[in-house]
Chain A
Amino acid sequence: MKKVSLYGMGFFVVFMGIFMANTFELMGANLWEPRDFYNARSSAYLMNSTNYESEFEDGYFNRPIIPSPTIKKGELLSLFIPYSKMMDTKLGKFCDDFSPADSLSRYERRKQTSSYNLDCTNRFFTIVLSEDDTLESDFLFYNHPKNDQAGLQGYFRLPDSISTGKQVLGVYRPAVDEADAKRDSTGRLKIYEAEIPFWIE
Chain B
Amino acid sequence: MSDSNSKLHNKSWLQKVAEQSWEPELLISGLAIFATLNLPEYVWKFHHYYKYNLQLDSGFIDELVPILVVGVFLTALQVLSFAFIFHFIVRAFWVGLMGLTSVYREGIKYDDLPYSEYYKTEMKKRIGDKDTFLLATDKLASLIFSIAALFVLYLIGISVVYIVFFILVNGVKLMVSPETFDVYSNIILIVSGVFLLGVSIISIVLNMERFRKNEKYSKIHFLVNWHFSQLFYPFINKPIQFLNLTFFPTSQ
Residues of chain A having any CB pair with chain B under 8 Å: 1, 4-5, 14-15, 18-19, 22-23, 26-27, 59-60, 62, 82, 84-86, 88-89, 149, 179, 191
The 0/1 profile, CB within 8 Å of A marked 1, for residues 208-252 of chain B is 000000000000000000000000000000000000000101110
Apart from the given pairs A1-B250, A26-B67, A85-B56, 5 other A-B contacts in the complex at a CB distance below 8 Å? A4-B247, A19-B75, A59-B45, A86-B55, A179-B58
- Return A14 CB to nearest CB of chain B, in Å: 8
Partner of A85, one of B52, B71, B250: B52
Task: Give the interface SS of chain A, mostly helix, strand, loop or mixed.
Answer: helix
Interchain CB contact under 8 A, A4 and B75 = no
Given the interface pairs A15-B79, A179-B57, A191-B58, the reply to whether A1 lies near B51 with Cβ below 8 Å is no
Interchain CB contact under 8 A, A23 and B71 = yes
Name the residue in B53, B58, B70 with the highest tally of chain A Cβ atoms < 10 Å from its Cβ: B58
Interchain CB contact under 8 A, B45 and A19 = no
Q: How many A-B residue pairs have CB under 8 A?
A: 61
Interchain CB contact under 8 A, B75 and A15 = yes
Partner of B56, one of A15, A89, A179: A89
Bound Cα distance from A85 to B63, whole angstroms: 13
Interchain CB contact under 8 A, B75 and A86 = no
- The chain A residue sitting closest to B78, CB to CB, is A18
- The chain A residue sitting closest to B48, CB to CB, is A60
Residues of chain B having any CB pair with chain A under 8 Å: 44-45, 47-49, 51-59, 62, 67-68, 70-72, 74-75, 78-79, 247, 249-251
Bound Cα distance from A4 to B59, whole angstroms: 39
Given the interface pairs A22-B71, A62-B51, the reply to whether A86 lies near B249 with Cβ below 8 Å is no
Q: Which residues of A contact B54 (CB under 8 A)?
A: 85
Interchain CB contact under 8 A, B48 and A27 = no
Given the interface pairs A5-B249, A15-B75, A18-B79, the reply to whether A179 lies near B53 with Cβ below 8 Å is no
Q: Which residues of B contact A84 (CB under 8 A)?
A: 51-53, 55
Interchain CB contact under 8 A, A26 and B249 = no
Interchain CB contact under 8 A, B58 and A22 = no
Bound Cα distance from A62 to B45, whole angstroms: 12
Partner of B249, one of A1, A15, A59, A149: A1
9 closest Cβ pairs, A-B complex: A23-B71, A4-B249, A19-B75, A1-B249, A22-B74, A60-B48, A22-B71, A84-B52, A26-B67
Bound Cα distance from A4 to B248, whole angstroms: 9
- Return A150 CB to nearest CB of chain B, in Å: 9
Q: Which residues of A contact B59 (CB under 8 A)?
A: 179
Given the interface pairs A27-B67, A89-B56, the reply to whether A22 lies near B75 with Cβ below 8 Å is yes
- The chain B residue sitting closest to A180, CB to CB, is B58
Bound Cα distance from A18 to B56, whole angstroms: 28
Q: Which residues of A contact B250 (CB under 8 A)?
A: 1
Name the residue in A26, A88, A179 with the highest tally of chain B Cβ atoms < 10 Å from its Cβ: A26
Q: Which residues of B contact A22 (CB under 8 A)?
A: 70-71, 74-75, 78
Q: Which residues of B contact A18 (CB under 8 A)?
A: 75, 78-79
Bound Cα distance from A86 to B56, whole angstroms: 4
Bound Cα distance from A84 to B59, whole angstroms: 16
Bound Cα distance from A84 to B44, whole angstroms: 17
- The chain A residue sitting closest to B50, CB to CB, is A85
Given the interface pairs A84-B55, A179-B57, the reply to whether A23 lies near B249 with Cβ below 8 Å is no
- Return B12 CB to nearest CB of chain A, in Å: 32
Interchain CB contact under 8 A, A85 and B55 = yes
- Return B185 CB to nearest CB of chain A, in Å: 14
A–B Cβ pairs within 8 angstroms, 23 of them: A1-B249, A1-B250, A1-B251, A5-B249, A18-B75, A22-B74, A22-B75, A22-B78, A23-B68, A26-B70, A26-B71, A26-B74, A27-B67, A60-B51, A60-B52, A62-B48, A82-B52, A84-B52, A85-B55, A85-B56, A88-B56, A89-B57, A149-B52
